[in-house]
Chain A
Amino acid sequence: MPQFFLNKKLITILITIIVVVVVVGYTARDRLNLTWPEKFIKDTTNFVQMVIDKPVNFFTGVVDHAGSVQNALEENEKLKKELDSQVQLETQVYELEKENEELKALNGLENKDDAEYIGAKVIGRSSDMWHEYVTIDKGSKSGIEANMAVVTADGLVGKVKTTNTFSSTVQLLTSLDSTNRISAEVQGETPVYGVIEGYNEETGTLQLTVNLKADIKVGSNVISSGLGTVFPPGLLIGKVTNVELDEYGLSKVAEVQPYADLNDFGYVKVVKRTDVAATDGEGDL
């Protein structure tokens, strides 16, 4: 036997390197399901996180609010004005909803909600700050599944990456991921459909790829189209800030400014689509 195989230290190091490469390669893939030890450890650390997060959250809340008291008066005036127009809008919405229901009944369409919402609290972020992941305090026990859409009051913020029993990991819109695609619709006189394919860090906008002939106006709203299987239609994403040709001149790329502040949210809603049954695999994204 050659000398090489007798060197115990060297063999151990080599085997360790091989094992590490295999494990890293296996776990770096996009996995929808975690193994049970991973789920257990995540649930445990997330529980500790929840306990620590409470007093810290209270403290940061107090500090943040102390700063915003100065602007409260100004804001109050502004909000009062907005409230007046809100009443008008509300009656309008009510009438439209009623009309919609009647028309649906006329056409014999079944009338049911497209989605149901599961409220959750944000308890942590990816601690090395490389990944744009957020941890929330609801898991598969509450009915959350991988790839569900996650929204705040302002709009879409991301999707569920993996679930544990009592907590889940949410991947934000901004994170770098080739599978992070959302089928979207630009509202206008004629709606334009496209796919959100990435995030531009310099401008802080999402890249929406649409047909070359599509006519998009800057400032129009972008919502989820519901053409994929996972995201329900009508989730607000953002507004168009700029439109230009892509690098090959074959399609147009619209820059979409997300409505939701991806740094500043404490509570989210996980959207469970109910109008289609198929939710297998990577449908929408």
Chain B
Amino acid sequence: MKNTLLFIIGIILLVSEGVYANATATNLNSGQWVFVLHILVIYLVYITWYSDKWISLIYALLFGLIFDISNAGIIGVYAVIFPFIVYGCLLIKDATESQLLLTVNAVAIGAVFVVEALVYLEYSILGQIDMALPDFLLYRLVPTLLFNTIVALFCGYPFMRLCKEKSQFGS
């Protein structure tokens, strides 16, 4: 199945977020500002845009589950938010019918924003984190969004090619 490659690359991207977190702990992310890599979310948006509806929903659930298990061990945080993101993207995709890379990138940044905000909310309710809202907005959300904008600009084109060529349902 051609879709297996999409899945394997998703897993590699998922793992690379952890490697990134480890590699930047001493330099980029040692201070107050936090730049979180959300390349998997960007990837999911691209799969949604250039691949099949059900494939993207199932992949979102699978990636979410694996992310939850390998990240903090609390199952049901990303496993819910990722499919939710994909669902939202599907609605926007149907509404705009745009194939412009810029549109997809904008949606991806929006998705990163929603993921960060929802995770902050959910972890706060669960008592896992203790961070004031202004701190979160200034030191975490803004740098993360800027950082992922750059990542999306670089990764957008390869992701699009990959999704179009490797997906069985691509146009």
Residues of A within 8 A of B (CB): 20-21, 23-24, 27-28, 31, 34, 38, 41-42, 45-46, 48-49, 52-53, 56-57, 60, 64, 122-131, 133-135, 161-162, 169, 176, 263-264
Residues of B within 8 Å of A125, CB to CB, are 18, 21-22, 25
Indicate the size class of the contact surface on chain B: 35 or more
Bound complex: CA A125 to CA B22 (Å): 5
Distance in Å: Cβ of A122 to nearest Cβ of chain B: 7
- Is B129 an interface residue, CB under 8 A from the partner? yes
Instruction: Pick the contact of B128: A41, A60, A176 (CB < 8 A).
Output: A176
Contact at B19–A49, with CB atoms within 8 Å?
yes
Report 24 cross-chain contacts, Cβ distance below 8 Å, ordered by A residue: A24-B77, A27-B73, A28-B126, A45-B11, A45-B18, A45-B69, A48-B12, A56-B19, A124-B15, A124-B21, A124-B22, A126-B18, A126-B21, A126-B71, A127-B17, A127-B20, A128-B72, A130-B119, A133-B71, A134-B22, A135-B18, A162-B73, A263-B26, A263-B30
Q: How far is the CA of A64 from the CA of B27 in the complex (A)?
A: 9
**Partner pick for A23 among B25, B36, B66, B75, CB 8 A cutoff:** B75
A23-B76, A45-B66 given as contacts; is B128 within 8 A of A127 (CB)? Answer: no
Residues of chain B touching chain A, judged by Cβ–Cβ distance below 8 Å, are: 11-12, 14-23, 25-27, 29-30, 34, 36-37, 66-67, 69-80, 119, 123, 126, 128-130
A48: min CB distance to chain B, Å? 5
A24→B21 contact, CB < 8 A? no
Closest residue of chain A to B129 (Cβ to Cβ) is A130
Q: Is the CB of A28 within 8 A of B22?
A: no
Which chain B residue has the least Cβ–Cβ distance from A34?
B73
Residues of A within 8 A of B66 (CB): 41, 45
In the complex, which residues of chain A have a beta carbon less than 8 angstroms from the beta carbon of B128?
28, 130-131, 176
Q: Establish whether residues A41 and B15, one from each chain, have CB atoms under 8 Å apart when the complex forms.
A: no
Chain B residues, Cβ within 8 Å of A56 = 19, 23
Closest CB in chain B relative to A12 CB, distance in Å = 13
List 13 additional A-B contacts (Cβ < 8 Å) besides A42-B69, A124-B18, A128-B119. Answer: A23-B75, A28-B126, A42-B70, A46-B70, A48-B15, A49-B15, A124-B22, A126-B18, A131-B129, A133-B72, A162-B73, A169-B73, A176-B128
Contacts A20-B80, A41-B66 given: A128-B71 contact, CB under 8 Å? yes
A27:B76 contact, CB within 8 angstroms: yes
Among B20, B22, B69, the residue within 8 A (CB) of A38 is B69
